[in-house]
A and B are shown apart, each in its own frame.
Chain A
Amino acid sequence: DAGVIQSPRHEVTEMGQEVTLRCKPISGHNSLFWYRQTMMRGLELLIYFNNNVPIDDSGMPEDRFSAKMPNASFSTLKIQPSEPRDSAVYFCASSPWQGSGNSPLHFGNGTRLTVT
């Protein structure tokens, strides 16, 4: 079991640039989640997918953020244009879907994004 794989581990970019974060969930897991973590706000759920379909994107801060899951083994989170306040650690997590929400999450190692 390779776990949830995220890339890149670190990203430093200038304000206004496009940033794309990538995630490969654990094989067989039907749900995929994108979280953002900051000191001030903790872990915030941005969006989650079930069977590749976006279920809840109410946590996406604004239109500059978009996420896709074209197949069961890959998802992207894109920020365009990026701003300094987007600096945070972005985690991807997956879980086997059990409908009632009883499944714990398996987290990737995160992408530390710094926007200057």
Chain B
Amino acid sequence: QKEVEQNSGPLSVPEGAIASLNCTYSDRGSQSFFWYRQYSGKSPELIMSIYSNGDKEDGRFTAQLNKASQYVSLLIRDSQPSDSATYLCAATGFQKLVFGTGTRLLVSP
């Protein structure tokens, strides 16, 4: 079992819709969770971090964490074609960050 699992997609949504990206993790000791966005041919860039149960909002992005279910999600409201990218979920165990393989999001105009 991979430590961090994501559906590879692609997830296709029309412009203006809400995109919902999901992630599960296996290490119950994980304390910190991150969402990175990676455009094709580029390096990952951090877009959200979340450390406690519940929701965290930043602009059009909302991260949700449920430690009991070992589940992390990212909602993107009012999706734009520029949001088309691969979204990587990452979780920390002890001093180490482990990534999922990413979900490819396609936002059509």
Contact = CB atoms under 8 A, between A and B. Distances in A.
Interface of A: 33, 35, 41-43, 45, 48, 50, 55-56, 91, 99-102, 104-110
Contacts of A109: 42-43
Given A42-B102, A104-B46, A110-B43, 5 more contacts: A43-B88, A50-B95, A101-B96, A102-B92, A104-B49
A55 B100 contact: no
Contacts of B97: 33, 45, 101, 105
Contacts of A101: 31-32, 92-97
B80 interface: no
Contact of A41 (B43, B49, B92, B101): B101
Contact of B98 (A45, A55, A99): A45
Interface residues of B, number: 22
Contacts of A105: 44, 46, 97
5 contacts: A35-B99, A45-B98, A100-B32, A105-B46, A107-B44
Contacts of A55: 95
B25 interface: no
A43 B43 contact: no
**Main secondary structure on B side of the interface with A:** loop
B22 to A, nearest CB: 16
A67 B86 CA distance: 28
B45 interface: yes
Contacts of A106: 46
Nearest to A110: B43
Interface string B16-49: 0000000000000001101000000011111001
B95 A102 contact: no
A33 B101 CA distance: 18
B38 to A, nearest CB: 9
Contacts of A48: 96
Query: Which 10 A-B pairs rank lowest in CB-CB distance, beginning with the nearest?
Result: A42-B101, A101-B92, A107-B43, A43-B99, A104-B46, A102-B32, A101-B95, A107-B44, A109-B43, A110-B43
